[in-house]
Amino acid sequence: MNKYNSLFHENRYVAYICRKNIKMAQINENYLKLQAGYLFPEIGRRVREFQKENPHADVIKMGIGDVTLPLTPTVIQAFHEGVEEMSKAGTFKGYGPEQGYAFLREAISMNEYINRGADIHADEIFVSDGSKCDTGNMLEIFGQDNIIAIQDPVYPVYVDASVMAGRTGKYTKSGYYDGLVYMPCSAENGFIPEIPKKKVDIVFLCFPNNPTGSTVSKQELKNWVDYALKNKTIILFDAAYESYISDPDLPHTIYEIEGAKEVAIEFRSFSKTAGFTGTRCAYTVIPKNLMAYTSDGAGMALHPLWFRRHTTKFNGVSYPVQKAAAATFTAEGKKEVKATISYYMNNARILRESLDKMGFRVFGGQNAPYVWVNSGRNISSWDLFDKLLHEAYVVGTPGSGFGPSGEGYFRFSSFATHENVVKAMDRLKNLKW
């Protein structure tokens, strides 16, 4: 048993002690099915432990996909203006619309959808403080018995949120949760999952993919939309990394595909696009004509359900933050976003080329900020993590943290500074295997 799991055993011990006493409030026991702490805090814990023992080690972090470039001048100016408005009685704002200010939703609709030929309107957009929360919380508006399909490997929030919400069975020794449909993504299938043979009710798709950096073509996405239309499946499409797409033939939004408005919810974020990881602003699109069904088969629009959930449990993103987000759609803001993305994609290129020369099998990093590698050296993902941390002071993310099919793989994030990417690759060249 590793330290990672011991928390859960401690919990059981506490539960045992309490049972001998009086009956108390009960916990959501689905949480006890979770196998580990959330991936990124666990990486943080290991790094902190290492740094405590090696205070002089200059650790380079390319684990969690956290941005390093500051907010751009246009965004900062709008942010300041928003704060200034809050300081004066005449322009001060209290609670805003839970769904987001119209100026931001209209800018999103025009720039991200209408201009791409996707017919998504401002009133179908919900501004929020993060796609992580939205993808996790979205399960609340779906029935308990839905069968959920998930790419493997993938951003761990989808699996963990499904477990917490009681949508899975037990964790099995082979590393899978009963009840979830895993769709293996490997080098053999280009990290694009096959459409499930059996009917599933909800499918999480993430493209450009975190962690593999794979992308989906219009035809492949159309196959998913057709499957969903035929099976009355809902696609939860996480497009948080769409701004890293440079190939003009790839779709940026699922709504570029005909019929998608009837089957898909899309999640987008300003985090990786415009450096908002610490500022927090994202949005979710639920088309007005997207339907799911009651247990007796009556069609119900999902938009009002999420609207009810959002307005009940969320009070909106702060006004200055929404102003700052809207500034990314001005002409100057767009130029700055483009420059930020080029900076990180140059890092991705350096990672790809350097790791390839070192004999890694390299994937992703071309239309996505993540570079996914296989060391080809018969070393587990976590052992490679420890080796890189201890011998090169370089932090990445073990592939197995994204699902069983990620074992043997490793993810590098290109969101580090250019200098650190170059330095890290220099150190890795000298590793002894």
Residue 311 and residue 321: Cα distance in Å, rounded? 19
Question: In angstroms, what is the minimal distance from the CB of 21 to ligand MLT?
Answer: 39
Using rule CB under 6 A, residue 132 touches ligand MLT: yes
Using rule CB under 6 A, residue 34 touches ligand MLT: no
Q: How many residues belong to the site for ligand MLT (CB under 6 A)?
A: 6
- Stretch near ligand MLT under the rule CB under 6 A, chosen from 61-69, 81-89, 116-124, 193-201: 61-69
Question: Which residue lies nearer to ligand MLT by CB, 228 or 240?
Answer: 240
Residue 80 and residue 77: Cα distance in Å, rounded? 5
Question: In angstroms, what is the minimal distance from the CB of 4 to ligand MLT?
Answer: 18
Question: In angstroms, what is the minimal distance from the CB of 371 to ligand MLT?
Answer: 12
Question: In angstroms, what is the minimal distance from the CB of 132 to ligand MLT?
Answer: 4
Using rule CB under 6 A, residue 61 touches ligand MLT: no
CA angle 252, 205, 304 (to 5 degrees): 85
Residue by residue, what is the 3-state secondary structure of the chain?
A: CCHHHHHHHHHHHHHHHHHCCCCCCCCCHHHHHCCCCCHHHHHHHHHHHHHHHCCCCCCEECCCCCCCCCCCHHHHHHHHHHHHHHCCCCCCCCCCCCCCCHHHHHHHHHHHHHHHCCCCCHHHEEEECCHHHHHHHHHHHCCCCCCEEEEECCCCHHHHHHHHCCCCCCECCCCCECCCEEEECCCCCCCCCCCCCCCCCEEEEECCCCCCCCCCCHHHHHHHHHHHHHHCCEEEEECCCHHHCCCCCCCCCHHHCCCHHHCEEEEEECHHHHCCCCCCCEEEECCCCCEEECCCCCEEEHHHHHHHHHHHHCCCCCHHHHHHHHHHHCHHHHHHHHHHHHHHHHHHHHHHHHHHHCCCEEEECCCCCEEEEECCCCCCHHHHHHHHHHHHCEECEEHHHHCHHHCCEEEEECCCCHHHHHHHHHHHHCCCC
Question: Which residue lies nearer to ligand MLT by CB, 66 or 262?
Answer: 66
Using rule CB under 6 A, residue 303 touches ligand MLT: no
Among 15, 34, 59, 64, indicate the residue that binds ligand MLT (CB under 6 A): 64
| Residues 269/274/278/281 CA torsion (nearest 10 deg) | -40
Question: Which residue lies nearer to ligand MLT by CB, 154 or 392?
Answer: 154
Question: In angstroms, what is the minimal distance from the CB of 9 to ligand MLT?
Answer: 27
Using rule CB under 6 A, residue 69 touches ligand MLT: no
Using rule CB under 6 A, residue 65 touches ligand MLT: yes
Task: Name the closest residue to ligand MLT (Cβ).
Answer: 65
Using rule CB under 6 A, residue 320 touches ligand MLT: no
Question: Which residue lies nearer to ligand MLT by CB, 32 or 64?
Answer: 64
Using rule CB under 6 A, residue 396 touches ligand MLT: no
Using rule CB under 6 A, residue 207 touches ligand MLT: no
Question: Which residue lies nearer to ligand MLT by CB, 67 or 263?
Answer: 67
- Stretch near ligand MLT under the rule CB under 6 A, chosen from 41-49, 63-71, 100-108, 145-153: 63-71
Question: Which residue lies nearer to ligand MLT by CB, 66 or 123?
Answer: 66
Residue numbers 153-192 binding ligand MLT by CB under 6 A: 155
Using rule CB under 6 A, residue 210 touches ligand MLT: yes
Using rule CB under 6 A, residue 243 touches ligand MLT: no
Question: In angstroms, what is the minimal distance from the CB of 269 to ligand MLT?
Answer: 8
Question: In angstroms, what is the minimal distance from the CB of 359 to ligand MLT?
Answer: 25
Report the interface residues with ligand MLT, using CB under 6 A: 64-66, 132, 155, 210
